[in-house]
Amino acid sequence: MSAGMRTGMRTRALNLLLIFALLGAVIASFQFLALNLTDLFSGDAGASMLAYAREFLRPDFSTTHLQACLRGAAETLAMSAIGTLLAALLGLLLALPAAGRFGALGKIGARFVLNALRAIPELVWAALMVLAAGLGPNAGALALAFHTAGVLGRLFAEALENTPATPAEAVHLAGGGRVTAFCYGTLPGVWPQLVAYALYRWENNIRMASVLGFVGAGGLGQMLYISLSLFQQAQAATIILVMLLIVLAVDAFSARVRLRWGR
């Protein structure tokens, strides 16, 4: 038996082992959850689920509800935009030390803060902010700001580290102060990248903002949560449609922007 054949057989055995492990994991998962799909979808349970689903087929298109939806959509968009803007400011503020501009200690500290901000999911931030700042879109905007600041701060720091230092040095040598050197030497080079990152996160945040309301942070999510709790399926269906439209519009718009200006 040649060496090639032996390794071939070994990878084959390993693959088989992995496939069995995966199958085992799947079976174990279904058993752990005691999930019985035939029970879930057959008989009375299935019929009641179907009846529930059918109530969503008649969305409420009355003017008052549409106006409320429009307001909810505006809240959602505003939440995402303001949240992302705050995040970009906070992110840039933290990115400067994280890129090592204020010494090694500042770098470690800022990186730790950025990691912590980023590690906590938006929804957890939103639940925390609702506790701290009360119900409403303010909590959502702040939650998005904190999480996104962690994401953007890290991306900004990397952009700052990768940008050539020579223009800033030139400004510095010509007599400009540190702030001037940063504004006219470093910033113009990284600016397009920073804007691209911020816009990309904004896109994500629009989607996120529409569901942050589930923990009470305003926008369409809160409306949906409330109308589902009150068993107003017709109203809920309209809100879901509006969410769907927002997601599709954002997708189409960002695809077009990407095609136009490239990445």
> Cβ 126 to another protein, closest distance in Å?
9
- Whichever of 165 and 187 has its CB closer to another protein, that residue is 187
3-state secondary structure 232-254: CHHHHHHHHHHHHHHHHHHHHHH
Question: Which of 117, 151, 168, 243 is the binder for another protein (CB under 8 A)?
Answer: 243
Structure tokens at 18: 């992995």
Rounded CA gap, 124 and 128, in Å?
A: 6
> Cβ 103 to another protein, closest distance in Å?
27
Question: Which of 9, 40, 108, 252 is the binder for another protein (CB under 8 A)?
Answer: 40
Q: What mask of x and - would describe binding to another protein in positions 86 to 115, judged by CB under 8 A?
A: ------------------------------
Residue bearing tokens 């989607």: 207
Name the CA dihedral angle for 247, 250, 253, 257, rounded to a multiple of 10 degrees.
-130
Residue bearing tokens 């938006």: 122
Q: Is position 169 an interface residue for another protein (rule: CB under 8 A)?
A: no
> Cβ 256 to another protein, closest distance in Å?
17
Residue bearing tokens 């009375």: 44
For residues 140 and 126, is the Cβ–Cβ distance under 8 A?
Answer: yes
Q: For the stretch 132-156, what's the b/e string if a residue is b when 16 or more beta carbons lie within 10 angstroms of its beta carbon?
A: eeeebbbbbbbbbbbbbbbbbbbbb
User: What is the footprint of another protein within residues 185-214 (CB under 8 A)?
Assistant: 207, 210-211, 214
- Whichever of 55 and 162 has its CB closer to another protein, that residue is 55
Site of interaction with another protein (CB under 8 A): 14-15, 18, 25-26, 28-30, 32-33, 35, 37, 40, 45, 49, 52-53, 71, 74-75, 77-79, 81-83, 85, 119-121, 123-124, 127-128, 131-134, 136-138, 140-142, 174-175, 184, 207, 210-211, 214-215, 218, 224-225, 228, 240, 243-244, 247-248, 251
